[in-house]
Chains A and B, each alone.
Chain A
Amino acid sequence: MLYLDNVNYIYQMGTAMEMHALNNVSLEIPDGQFIGIIGHTGSGKSTLIQHFNGLVKPTSGTIYYNGRDIWDEDFSKKELRTKVGLVFQYPEYQLFETTVVKDVEFGPKNMKLDKLECQLRTFGALKTVGIGEELYDASPFELSGGQKRRVAIAGVLAMQPDVLVLDEPTAGLDPRGRDEILEAIFRIKQERNITVILVSHSMEDVARFVDRLIVMDHGSVRFDGTPKEVFAHYKELEEIGLAAPEVTYLTAELIEKGLPLPNVATTVEEAKEMIMRFYKH
Chain B
Amino acid sequence: MLRDITIGQYYPAKSVIHRLDPRVKLFATLIFIVSMFLFKTFVGYIVAGIALITVIKMSKVPFKFIVKGLKTIWMLLCFTLIFNVILTDGTILFEWKFIKISIEGIRNAIFMGFRLFFLIIGSSLMTLTTTPNQLTDGMETGLRGLKKIKIPVHEMAMMMSIALRFIPILMEETDKIMKAQSARGADFEEGKLMERIRALVPIFVPLFISAFRRANDLAMAMEARCYRGDNNRTRMNPLKYKKEDGLAYLSLVLYVAILIVADRTLGPIAESPITKLSTSLSAMVHIFNCL
**Which residues from chain A sit less than 8 Å from chain B, CB to CB?**
12, 15-16, 50, 53, 55, 78, 81-82, 85-88, 91, 93-96, 106-107, 110-111, 141, 155-156, 159
Contacts and interface: CB of A to CB of B under 8 A. Distances in A.
A88 B176 contact: yes
13 contacts: A16-B11, A50-B179, A53-B183, A78-B185, A86-B183, A87-B183, A94-B180, A94-B181, A94-B202, A96-B201, A96-B206, A110-B186, A141-B209
Interface in B181-215: 181-187, 201-202, 205-206, 209-210
Contacts of A106: 181, 184-186, 202
* Most chain A CB inside 10 Å of its own CB: which residue of B13, B183, B201: B183
B192 to A, nearest CB: 16
B12 interface: yes
B187 A55 contact: no
A55 B179 contact: yes
Contacts of A107: 184-185
Given A91-B180, A94-B177, A82 B209 contact: no
Given A88-B183, A111-B185, A156-B183, 16 more contacts: A16-B65, A55-B182, A78-B185, A81-B183, A81-B184, A85-B183, A88-B176, A94-B202, A95-B206, A96-B201, A96-B202, A96-B205, A107-B184, A107-B185, A141-B209, A155-B184
Contacts of B210: 93
A110 B181 CA distance: 10
Contacts of B187: 78, 110
Contacts of A15: 65
Interface residues of B, number: 22
A255 to B, nearest CB: 44
B3 interface: yes
A99 to B, nearest CB: 13
A159 B182 CA distance: 13
Interface in B125-179: 176-177, 179
Given A93-B206, A141-B209, A12 B185 contact: no
A91 B187 CA distance: 18
A87 B180 CA distance: 8
A11 to B, nearest CB: 9
In this complex, the member of B3, B180, B209 whose beta carbon has the largest number of chain A beta carbons within 10 angstroms is: B180
Given A93-B206, A94-B177, A16 B184 contact: no
Contacts of A87: 183
A76 B182 CA distance: 13
Nearest to B11: A16
Contacts of B181: 94, 106
Contacts of B201: 96
